[in-house]
Amino acid sequence: MAMTTSDANAISSVFTRDILPKLSKKTRSLSKRGALIAARTTTLVFVLLTMLIAVEQNSFGGVLGLLISWFGALVGPISIAMLFGLLPAFRYSGSAAAIISLAGGVVVFALNEYVFHVGTAATVGLPVVVSLILYTVIGWFSRRHGLRPEVANMMETLSQDRPSKSTSSL
């Protein structure tokens, strides 16, 4: 249960602080109380969905089938933005590219799982491939907008092979 609680809090934090402000201008200026309510609501929704899925796990092919399904639906598409976002070649792939590539991967997973009924390899692999293509193409077309200064500074820091000033005193 502790792992589920930890996961729910991590998902709530990422969704409330990183994803929600990119999707809605209204949530960018939430008060501390408003942000707390949004985070608690996100946590509650995630826990309720988790409980619903646990109760209905047999319809997903049991625990192993459920693990494979969740891996295919979420881990692959999320990892594209997390891993490639740190590489200088993908510096123009911003938050829009990350969100769209994640959504594209989840849509492809849903189509594979519930419409086309393809094999396990395609169910897990195709969402990752689609996410990578979307992340790359959106970043390519975003080059003309240039880089925000904080992104340029982060890429410069990641390109250097020395500790940053903030960690050198540790």
For residue 46, pLDDT beyond 70? yes
Rounded Cα gap, residues 149 and 163, in angstroms: 20
Query: 150: how many CB neighbours lie within 10 A of its CB?
Result: 8
Rounded Cα gap, residues 142 and 154, in angstroms: 18
Half-sphere exposure of 165 (CA within 13 A, CB side): 1
- Model confidence band, residue 85 (pLDDT cutoffs 50, 70, 90): confident
> What's the pLDDT score for residue 115?
92
* Lowest mean pLDDT segment, chosen from 26-35, 39-48, 134-143, 146-155: 146-155
Contact 88, 151 (CB under 8 A): no
- Model confidence band, residue 65 (pLDDT cutoffs 50, 70, 90): confident
Mean pLDDT of 114-140: 91
For the chain, how far is it from start to end, CA to CA, in angstroms?
34
For residue 132, pLDDT beyond 90? yes
Rounded Cα gap, residues 94 and 78, in angstroms: 14
Give the residue among 131, 123, 130, 122 at the shortest CA–CA distance from 80: 131
Whole-prediction pTM: 0.67
Mean pLDDT of 107-126: 88
Write down the H helix ranges in 15-148: 20-23, 32-55, 62-70, 76-84, 95-111, 120-141
For residue 30, pLDDT beyond 80? yes
* Lowest mean pLDDT segment, chosen from 57-61, 83-87, 145-149: 57-61
